[in-house]
Amino acid sequence: MSLKVCTAEFMISDSIGTGFSQAWLPFMAAERMATSGKDGNVDRAPDQVPFIDSEILWTNSYDDPVHAMMSIQRAPRSLVTSSPNTLVLDDAWTSDIGLSPSAPTPFGTNSGVGIRFQTRQSFNPLIYTRFFRDFPDWTSYVELGAIDPGNTLHFRYRCLFSTPGGWRTPVQPLMLAQARYARLRLWIAPWTTGVI
């Protein structure tokens, strides 16, 4: 039988033994796979249209403050366009931490891909031109900061489709956008201030 000893932050002790608390050990605390609801043929979209809309709510139920980071894995994206139209898939995210957090709706862009392929000057008639592009999947890390015990993280992610600039009806038009999915992973590590 062991003694239960007094421990500082990030340690625990009972009559079996003394060890690290879960908040000391870096780990993945939450994961979310969000799929696109609008993959396929696309048309002119001056304003951003959400293809993927997802969020994570996570409460720090430990006794110690933790350091949160989010990794966003974007699926391989595919875009097909016809001259001279521009297609864009943006990734946007927002976050809030507090007792009752509410992250704003993500707009604009934090990352993303897009294509445009123009074969004639704009004052000439269009000719048949299609352009196909696949982008490999890729990971972005977002630093979120400290989450105190009892506080909650609210993280929102959206993949937004838009067609910036001019738009003409192409010769034999083919416009496709596939965002497929995004995978969110919340990583937790100890938040230390140097005054343990």
Partner 1 sequence: MAQVCVSQNLGIGGGILSIEPHSVPHHVFDQTFNSVGDGSFSAQTTLPGKLMIDSGIQTWTNPSPMPARVLLRVQRAYRNWQTSNPNAVQIRDRYTYAIGGADPRVPDVSSVYNGQSGSAMDVGAQFNGTPYIGVYWEWEDGTLIEDWLGPIPPGADLKVWYRCNLWTPPPWSNNANNNNPQHSASVRSTRIQMIAFPTQDSTVVG
Least distance to partner 1, CB of residue 138, Å: 4
Give the residue with the Cβ less far from partner 1, 47 or 136.
136
Give the residue with the Cβ less far from partner 1, 15 or 100.
15
Least distance to partner 1, CB of residue 194, Å: 18
Least distance to partner 1, CB of residue 58, Å: 15
Distance of CA 26 to the CA centre of its chain: 20
Helix, strand, coil tally for the chain in percent (to 5): 0, 50, 45
Give the residue with the Cβ less far from partner 1, 14 or 43.
14
Give the residue with the Cβ less far from partner 1, 117 or 167.
117
C-alpha closest to that of 57 among 182, 147, 181: 147
Counting every residue, how long is the chain?
A: 196
Positions in the binding site for partner 1 (CB under 8 A): 1-3, 5, 12-14, 16-22, 25-28, 31, 71, 73, 76, 78, 117, 119, 127-139, 185
